[in-house]
Amino acid sequence: MRQLLDQARLQETLITVLDHAMPACAQVEYRLVGTGAALLHGVQLPAGDVDILVKDREGVNAFGAALSSFECLEPPAWLPETRQYYANYNVDGVEVGISTVELETEVDAIETFGRGPWEHFTVLQCGQYAVPAVALELRLITELVRNRPDRYTPIIDHMQAQGCDIELIRRGMDAAGLPHARQEDVLNRLK
């Protein structure tokens, strides 16, 4: 089993990745996604790896070249079953995945494909770097769809204290086809 990341270890890993990737990848548009994004937002939840979403395959290759001094767990490759171009590296004991997700949708409330991650994000400070992390609302929707209360409960608790975009969450839950009663429960907890 992987060691869980806390916020300090996540930031240390991100700084190491970006120290190696910049300035070579400065023109690569990327987003921090997954549980790492929620952790960087300040949510206390289990995170086991770092996931970086890029817009195109060249971005995966650029990050891969920049991380070539680290152990490559999976070299950049097309994964047809998930429609991803994906690579995975061991950065000082932490798995760091870089990928595209090549699916089209008009929905703007999906964390890893369509317009969502590119339109709904927050730039968070991590050492000397400004890291674009996917909006916490999109991460919540992913965890609700996956039915992982150990992940979505801390996000909801965080949002109760910090606020959120209720309409974006409503659109996302509706687009995901979550049962109406569950949607209402989440929305009531967030009000």
What is the CB neighbour count within 10 angstroms for residue 148?
14
- Residues of the chain below pLDDT 70: 1-2
Fold of 7-135: Beta Polymerase; domain 2 (3.30.460)
Delimit the domains of the chain by residue range.
Answer: 7-135
- pTM of the entire structure? 0.95
Entry field: residues in the chain: 191
Nearest residue to 21 (alpha-carbon basis) of 82, 81, 64:
64
Q: What is the pLDDT of residue 4?
A: 87
Q: Enumerate long-range contacts of 159-164, CB under 8 Å, 24 or more apart.
A: 159/190, 160/189, 160/190, 162/42, 164/136, 164/137, 164/140, 164/190
Q: Which pair of structure tokens corresponds to residue 11?
A: 């930031």
Let me know if 39 is exposed, middle or buried by CB neighbors in 10 A (0-12, 13-18, 19+): buried
